[in-house]
Structure 1
Amino acid sequence: MDSILDYLSLFGLATSAFVLVTGCANMVLMAVLWVLYLSLVNVGQIWYSFGWESQLLETGFLGIFLCPLWTLSRLPQHTPPSSIVIWGFRWLIFRIMLGAGLIKIRGDRCWRELTCMDYHYEKNFL
């Protein structure tokens, strides 16, 4: 089982390095990367149970729809992405920002009183 996980990780690393270096991707390649990461998250169970794992999966899933279907080329400049995908990214960003703010407000009194950032800027810039 360990060697299979190693091979999956190496295959994902090589595939994502190809996309990063060449700047070329398609829906199929991005879907393969998403399925690989989804399988690692499911196998990892408690080690992959943090909130950012599901956010990365959701971001990767939305990123699939930004690429062309079959052609292995760069994102076309003349074709804007679907407005559904753009609104999906906006909704994801809203939830991340709202969740981060709610966790901070719940955690400490200075966040509830809105004074933590005053101290941060005072300490770092004076």
Structure 2
Amino acid sequence: MLMLDALFRVDFRHPGAHEARENGLRFVPRRWRQFFDSIRGFSTPLRPWVMERRCPALTDAYQCCIELFTTYRMLHRHLAAQILRGATTTGRAFETRDDNYRTFVSEIGSLVRDTAALRIPGIGR
């Protein structure tokens, strides 16, 4: 997921999702983090590059990737939320199970929207 986030440049707009990502990166080897940072740091983001190519097959392939990534995040949100109703997310502590659940659903919901925002306008599936 970290590689896909870097490749597609998913913006983590939800403060909690950003915090959770940063906390999760503690467990990722330094060399991997550097690699993901180098992918994210390419001069041209993938989405505008695909749009500039004006190649229907490339645009369709890109769009399929975004749709699958968004679907994965929606499924992750639903299934993990059911499991986490008594656990903590990403090593953070919450006062209640419901608070933990609501926080997780909110953060992942934001990630679903952030990922879906990478769709190319005017291209429907």
Q: Is the pair's TM-score, using the shorter chain for normalization, greater than 0.5?
A: no
Structure having greater relative contact order (Cα 8 Å, sep ≥ 6)? 2
Q: TM-score normalized by structure 1?
A: 0.31
- Which structure has more helix as a fraction of its residues? 1
Instruction: Give the greater-gyration-radius structure (CA).
Output: 1
